[in-house]
């Protein structure tokens, strides 16, 4: 009961504005697929094209191998969970859940029975007679999921459904969503701007920027092997050094930067290859930066501690590189080996060339 | 401190003044409906009565007018509410560039004077009628039909404004959710949008009905040969009114109040329910208590009891003993007139006595004294018959407010011709005070009826 979704060369234009540029995606049946991007990048537009509220200007949407052109949202095998949930305020919970059955003329007794089953699934048994306004945020969330599942869709589309919840509830709902997805086994397409949600729940993540899909991969690859400068700067935190490639040998590039020469590995993606003379960025994760002693590591520089934040399990240290006053961030686990470094000057810091990645210069995520 | 008190006093005074301004006329009018006086007024108060409600029910023109007004009101609701709804839906869906234009077009009838709408409706349907060669007895010349159509042109715009206000609060995601769950567009409209709009439909219907009911300037043209409540009232005012109009107003105000109270009771129920639901959502309560049916709501029962008791009291005190009261009032009024006449008479007699005395120099001084003392007595009458008095000018009764001036003119009531009138004309009259028999014709029925407008204009 799960279908794959294919977007083939999809363009979506609103007048002069282009919301989707030549989007090609293949979402396999039964997987939890996330589209991640900053607000306004066109991810919701893409979702609406899949659900049928919007017709692509060019290209086609295929669900289960079938072209959806000319098929309205009410006849597609998809169900959408709206950002604001859009529960029907004038109906009881069970009427909300079984709305899809009601419009198909299913008898009331049968509908009630189905509602009870679904209320069991979302852990709200016996609450069917309540009104929507009697539920808390998390309960509403689950009712919205039950309502969508009741329509027995082959693809469930979720448009930032957790954004209205508080942090605690959001974390709880992440695991709950994932377990519901594994129980029902249908394709989930999830839209979010929250990378934490994307990385924890998804089988695959697509990172989107201004209507363009920048990279599609699983969570760890997205984090460790970003294809573009945008992905590297948007997903997680990264220190960035701008420079020029001096030479490339065995997948390690020598980059000359104002902070000195930096050795960093090249991307495995051939599209992101760099050659001598290219303007590039070197990205280093804060957790890859560390205090060093001796010549144990390829890239070393001197830095002064500007500011420290103690988070219990972690230290977040903001450093100024001594030569250029460039601000970088370092984080390390509080294992007791290092105490506060506040006010220290010209400490040796460094990172290995394996932990740094060199990517062609390109658009970056907004700070 | 003192300044604050003065400020408070001023505010309270202003509020009181405002309410007097607002409700004063309404209260006075309401009271006039229960006064037996033939002209709607509060003072002088005569008897408490509900007879004007009977008069109202027997006034066939008025009743027909009300019936037509109700018919037209219902017709306008049926026509204007769907048109307004369609217009509002259209406005919400149309592109932003066309929207201001469509809005202006649909709103225009509100801005056009009602008179123009009335005349144009009349002319337009007359042309249409001519086109089909229809006669005067067809729908194109039917006052009720024309009025419904004419009023609906601008009342539908009112309805549209209400719907727009409601639709602006509608979450379009609800519609999309319904479509997404497999509902057709018709099902979405029927199951999602229409229930959401239900309160607005109610408001629009009430507003449309009231706007239609009180409309005059369009109706006066489109009603042709029939009549509505407003046109009947307008013509009545022109030809003189009686308190049955107040009775009608009281009935309308009463019905409005009943409606308002019932609405308020049901609204409070809603608020209570919503609050209970919020409590459950916040986890402060476990469940919302099932509300009892509306008919057993304590506030509703109390209200019904108050209305029934109030109506019963008014009906009872307005029907029992009214005739007796009327007779008493009549007698009081007659007594009042009698008193006035008497006073005038005495003054007159006193005057003539003085005259007579000054004329006859042979009279002794003690008689003069006597006449002073007995000025109220009947002895003074003697001199009335002195020949000189007969020469006085004739005066009309209307000027009886100024008794001193020209009282001599009453002397001619003693002319022999008056004696021919049999005094048995007025059987219910009590034995007149001695010495006033000659004034009988003052109490003739015609005089009494004249009295009302005369006094009124005098005041």
Q: What is the pLDDT of residues B52-68, one digit of tens each?
A: 888 888 888 888 888 99
Pairwise CA distance, residues A223 & A200, whole Å? 12
Using the Cβ of B277 and the Cβ atoms of chain A, whether some distance falls under 8 Å is answered with yes
User: Can you give the pLDDT at residue A321?
Assistant: 87
A169 inside 8 A of chain B by CB: no
How far is Cα B386 from Cα B400, in angstroms, rounded to an integer? 23
Chain B (186-205) residues lying within 8 Å, Cβ to Cβ, of chain A:
187, 191-192, 195-196
Distance between CA B156 and CA B205 in Å, rounded? 10
Q: Residue B21 — very low, low, confident or very high, per pLDDT cuts 50/70/90?
A: very high
Torsion-angle region of A361 (φ positive above 0: left; ψ -120 to 50: alpha; else: beta): beta
Tell whether A293 is within 8 A of chain B (Cβ): no
pLDDT of res. B305: 92
Average pLDDT over residues B373-382: 48
Cβ B281–A100 below 8 Å, yes or no?
no
- Res B174: pLDDT: 92
pLDDT exceeds 60 at position B368: no
* A102–B178 C-beta distance less than 8 A: no
What is the band of B358 on the pLDDT scale with cuts at 50, 70, 90?
A: confident
Q: Residue B274: its chain A contacts at CB < 8 A?
A: 133
Q: Shortest CB distance from B182 goes to which of A88, A90, A104?
A: A104
- Peptide bond just before A313 cis, omega within 30 deg: no
Element (H, E) at A182: helix A167-184
Closest residue of chain B to A149, computed from CA coordinates: B181
**Strand order in A347-351's β-sheet?**
A290-291, A347-351, A299-310, A314-321, A327-333
pLDDT of residue B48: 83
Is A99 within 8 Å of B183 when comparing Cβ atoms? yes
Contact A74 B176 (CB under 8 A): no
Closest residue on chain A to B198 (Cα) = A90
Give the separation between CA B176 and CA B230, rounded to whole angstroms: 47
What is the predicted pLDDT for the residue at B76?
95
Chain A positions in Cβ-Cβ contact with residue B178 (cut-off 8 Å): 88, 99, 103
How close does chain B come to A77, measured CA to CA in Å? 9
What is the pLDDT, as a whole number, of residue B165? Answer: 93
pLDDT for B369: 47
pLDDT band at B18 (very low <50, low <70, confident <90, very high): very high
- Could you read off the pLDDT of B111-136 as tens digits, one per residue? 999 999 999 998 999 888 888 887 77
Q: What value does the mean pLDDT take over residues B13-22?
A: 94
- The residues, any chain, with a CB within 8 Å of residue B329's CB and separated by 6 or more, are B36, B46, B47
Q: Do B174 and A88 touch (CB under 8 A)?
A: yes
By DSSP bridging, strand A327-333 and strand A347-351 are unpaired
pLDDT digits (tens, 9 = 90+) for A329-362: 988 888 877 777 777 788 888 888 888 899 988 8
CA A58/CA B236 separation, integer angstroms = 73
Chain B, residues 362-401, CB within 8 A of chain A, namely none
Q: What would the pLDDT profile of B216-266 be if each residue is shown by its tens digit?
A: 989 988 888 888 888 888 888 787 778 888 888 888 889 889 989 998 998
Residue A155 and residue A2 in contact, taking contact as beta carbons nearer than 8 Å = yes
Out of A103, A134, A135, the one facing B181 most closely (by C-beta) is A103
pLDDT at A283: 92
Chain A residues whose beta carbon lies within 8 Å of the beta carbon of residue B196: 90
**Which residues in B lie closer than 8 A to residue A52 (C-beta atoms)?**
180
Distance CA B137, CA B118 (A): 20
Of A165 and A223, the one with more pLDDT: A223
pLDDT (tens digit per residue) in A206-250: 999 888 899 999 989 999 889 999 999 998 888 999 998 888 888
- A99 Cβ under 8 Å from any chain B Cβ: yes
CB contact under 8 A, A103 and B187: yes
Minimum-distance CB partner of B180 among A80, A102, A134: A80
Domains of chain B, residue spans: 62-242, 321-353
Q: Of the segments A346-355, B274-283, B369-378, which one has the largest average pLDDT value?
A: A346-355
In this predicted structure, the answer to whether residue A188 has a pLDDT above a threshold of 80 is yes
Q: Mutation test of the interface with chain B: which of A103, A106, A159, choosing the one with the most B Cβ atoms within 10 A?
A: A103
| Chain B contact set for A74 (CB, 8 A) | 179-184
Query: What digits encode the pLDDT tens for the residues B428-450?
Result: 444 444 444 445 555 555 555 54
pLDDT beyond 90 at B200: yes
Confidence of residue A42 (pLDDT cuts 50, 70, 90): confident
Q: Cα torsion for B159, B164, B169, B171, to the nearest 10°?
A: 110
At B82, is the pLDDT very low, low, confident or very high (cuts 50, 70, 90)? Answer: very high
- Mean pLDDT, all residues of chain B: 79
pLDDT in tens, A113-164: 999 988 888 888 888 888 888 888 888 888 998 999 888 889 999 988 887 7
> What's the mean pLDDT in B419-431?
46
* pLDDT value, residue B451: 45
Which residue does chain A place closest to B277, by CA atoms?
A: A134
- Which residue from B196, B281, B287 is facing A136, i.e. has the nearest CB? B281
pLDDT at B386: 52
How far, in Å, CA of A351 to CA of A354, rounded? 8
- CA-based nearest residue in chain A for residue B179: A74
Q: What is the pLDDT of residue B404?
A: 46
Distance from the A231 Cα atom to the nearest Cα atom in chain B, whole angstroms: 31
In Å, how far are A233, B275, B297 from B293, measured between CA atoms?
62, 18, 7
Q: Does B270 touch chain A (CB under 8 A)?
A: no
In chain A, whose CA is at the least distance from the CA of B285?
A134
Greater pLDDT, A75 or B44: A75
Q: Hey, what are A183's tokens?
A: 């129980």
Average of pLDDT values for B398-414?
A: 47
Q: Is the pLDDT of residue B14 over 80?
A: yes
pLDDT above 70 (res A280): yes
Which A-chain residues 56-75 have CB contacts (< 8 A) with chain B? Answer: 72-75
What's the alpha-carbon Rg for chain A, to the nearest Å?
25
Q: Determine the pLDDT at residue B445.
A: 52
Q: How far apart are CA A358 and CA B185, in angstroms?
A: 53
Per-residue confidence (pLDDT) for residue B400, from 0 to 100: 43
Residues 75-94 of A with CB under 8 A from B: 75, 78-80, 82-84, 86-88, 90
**Mean pLDDT in chain A?**
87
Please indicate if any CB of chain A lies within 8 Å of the CB of B173: yes
Instruction: Identify the pLDDT of residue B455.
Output: 42
Nearest to A90 among B184, B196, B283 (CB): B196
Size of interface A-B (CB pairs under 8 A): 80
> Which residues from A are below 8 Å from B278, CB to CB?
133-134
> Cα(first)–Cα(last) distance of chain B, in Å?
46
Class of domain B62-242: mainly alpha
Structure confidence at residue B398 (pLDDT): 43
pLDDT for res B205: 94
Tokens of A163: 């954004």
Probe site for chain B from A73, A85, A87, A106 (most B CB atoms < 10 A): A73
Instruction: State both tokens at B192.
Output: 């999602």
Query: Is the CB of residue A100 less than 8 Å away from at least one CB of chain B?
Result: yes
> What string of H, E and C letters represents the secondary structure of chain B?
CHHHHHHHHHHHHHHHHHHHHHHHHHHHHHHHCCECCCCCCCCCCCCECCHHHHHHHHCHHHHHHHHHHHHHHHHHHHHHHHHHHHHHHHHHHCCCCCHHHHHHHHHHHHHCCHHHHHHHHHHHHHHHHHHCCCCCCCHHHCHHHHHHHHHHHHHHHHHHHHHHHHHCCCCHHHHHHHHHCCCCHHHHHHHHHHHHHHHHHHHHHHHHHHHHHCCCCCHHHHCCCCCCHHHHHHHHHHCCCCCHHHHHHHHHHHHHHHHHHHHHHHHHHHHHHHHHHHHHHCCCCCCCCCCCCHHHCHHHHHHHHHHHHHHHHHHHHHHCCHHHHHHHHHHHHHHHHHHHHHHHHHHHHHHHHHHHHHHCCCCCHHHHHHHHHHHHCCHHHHHHHCHHHHHCCCCCHHHCCCCCCCHHHHHHHHCHHHHHCCHHHCCCCCCCCCCCHHHHHHHCHHHHHHHHHHHHHHC
Which of A58, A70, A42 lies closest to A8, judged by CA? A58
| B187 contact residues in A (CB cutoff 8 A) | 103
B183/A86 CB distance under 8 A: no
pLDDT exceeds cutoff 60 at B351:
yes
């Amino acid at each position: 009961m799960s279908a794959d979704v294919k977007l083939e060369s999809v363009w979506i234009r609103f007048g002069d504005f282009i919301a989707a540029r030549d989007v090609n995606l293949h979402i396999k049946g039964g997987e939890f697929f996330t589209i991640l991007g900053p607000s306004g990048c066109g991810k919701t537009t893409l979702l609406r094209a899949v659900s049928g509220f919007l017709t692509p200007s060019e290209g086609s949407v295929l669900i289960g191998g079938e072209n959806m052109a000319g098929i309205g949202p009410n006849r597609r095998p998809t169900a959408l969970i709206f950002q604001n949930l859009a529960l029907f305020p004038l109906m009881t919970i069970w009427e909300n859940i079984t709305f899809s059955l009601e419009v198909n003329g299913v008898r009331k007794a049968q509908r009630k029975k189905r509602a009870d089953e679904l209320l069991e699934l979302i852990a709200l048994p016996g609450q069917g007679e309540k009104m929507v306004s009697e539920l808390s945020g998390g309960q509403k969330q689950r009712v919205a999921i039950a309502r969508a599942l009741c329509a027995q869709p082959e693809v469930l589309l979720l448009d930032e459904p957790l954004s209205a919840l508080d942090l605690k509830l959001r974390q709880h709902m992440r695991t709950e969503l994932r377990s519901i997805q594994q129980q029902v086994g249908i394709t989930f397409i999830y839209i979010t701007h929250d990378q934490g949600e994307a990385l924890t729940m998804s089988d695959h993540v697509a990172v989107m920027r201004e209507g363009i899909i920048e990279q599609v991969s699983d969570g760890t690859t997205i984090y460790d092997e970003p294809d573009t400068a945008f992905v590297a700067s948007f997903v997680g935190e990264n220190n960035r050094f701008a420079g020029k490639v001096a030479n490339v040998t065995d997948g390690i590039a020598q980059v000359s930067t104002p902070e000195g020469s930096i050795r960093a590995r090249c991307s495995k993606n051939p599209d992101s290859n760099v050659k001598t003379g290219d303007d590039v960025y070197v990205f280093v994760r804060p957790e890859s930066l560390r205090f060093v002693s001796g010549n144990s590591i390829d890239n070393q520089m001197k830095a002064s501690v500007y500011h420290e934040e103690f988070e219990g399990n972690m230290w977040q240290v903001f450093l100024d590189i001594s030569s250029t006053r460039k601000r970088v961030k370092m984080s390390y686990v509080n294992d007791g080996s290092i105490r506060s470094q506040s006010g220290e000057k010209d400490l040796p810091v460094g990172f290995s060339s394996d932990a740094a990645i060199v990517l062609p210069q390109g658009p970056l995520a907004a700070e | 401190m003192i300044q604050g008190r003065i400020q408070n006093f001023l505010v309270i005074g202003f509020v009181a003044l405002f309410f007097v301004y607002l409700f004063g006329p309404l209260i006075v009018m309401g009271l006039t409906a229960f006064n037996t006086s033939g002209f709607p007024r509060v003072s002088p108060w005569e008897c408490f009565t509900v007879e004007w409600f009977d008069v109202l029910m027997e006034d066939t023109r008025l009743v027909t007018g009300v019936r037509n007004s109700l018919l037209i009101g219902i017709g306008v609701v049926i026509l204007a509410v769907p048109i307004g709804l369609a217009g509002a839906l259209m406005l919400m869906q149309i592109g932003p560039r066309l929207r201001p234009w469509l809005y202006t077009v649909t709103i225009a009838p509100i801005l056009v004077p009602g008179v123009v709408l009335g005349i144009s409706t009349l002319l337009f349907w007359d042309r249409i009628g001519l086109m089909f060669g229809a006669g005067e007895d067809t729908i194109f010349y039917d006052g009720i039909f024309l009025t419904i159509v004419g009023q609906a042109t601008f009342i539908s715009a009112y309805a549209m404004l209400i719907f727009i206000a409601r639709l602006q609060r509608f979450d379009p995601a609800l519609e999309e959710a319904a479509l997404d769950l497999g509902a057709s567009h018709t099902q979405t409209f029927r199951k999602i949008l229409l229930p959401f709009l239900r309160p607005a439909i109610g408001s629009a219907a009430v507003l449309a009905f009231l706007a239609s009911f009180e409309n005059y300037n369009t109706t006066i043209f489109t009603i042709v040969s029939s009549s509505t409540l407003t046109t009947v009232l307008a013509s009545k005012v022109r030809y003189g009114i009686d308190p049955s109009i107040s009775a009608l107003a009281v009935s309308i105000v009463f019905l409005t109040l009943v409606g308002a109270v019932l609405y308020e009771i049901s609204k409070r129920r809603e608020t209570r329910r919503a609050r209970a639901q919020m409590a459950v959502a916040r986890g402060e309560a476990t469940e919302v208590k099932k509300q009892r049916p509306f008919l057993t709501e304590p506030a509703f029962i109390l209200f019904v009891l108050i209305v029934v008791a109030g109506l019963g009291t008014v009906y009872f005190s307005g029907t029992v003993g009214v005739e007796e009261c009327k007779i008493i009032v009549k007698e009081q009024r007659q007594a009042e007139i009698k008193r006035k006449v008497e006073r005038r008479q005495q003054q007159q007699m006193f005057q003539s006595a003085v005259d007579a005395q000054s004329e006859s120099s042979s009279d002794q001084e003690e008689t003069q004294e006597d006449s002073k003392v007995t000025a109220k007595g009947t002895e003074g009458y003697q001199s009335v018959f002195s020949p000189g008095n007969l020469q006085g000018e004739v005066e009309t009764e209307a000027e009886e407010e100024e008794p001193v001036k020209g009282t001599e003119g009453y002397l001619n009531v003693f002319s022999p011709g008056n004696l021919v009138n049999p005094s048995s004309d007025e059987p219910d009259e009590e034995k007149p005070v001695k010495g006033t028999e000659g004034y009988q014709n003052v109490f003739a029925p015609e005089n009494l009826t004249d009295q009302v407008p005369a006094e009124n204009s005098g005041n």
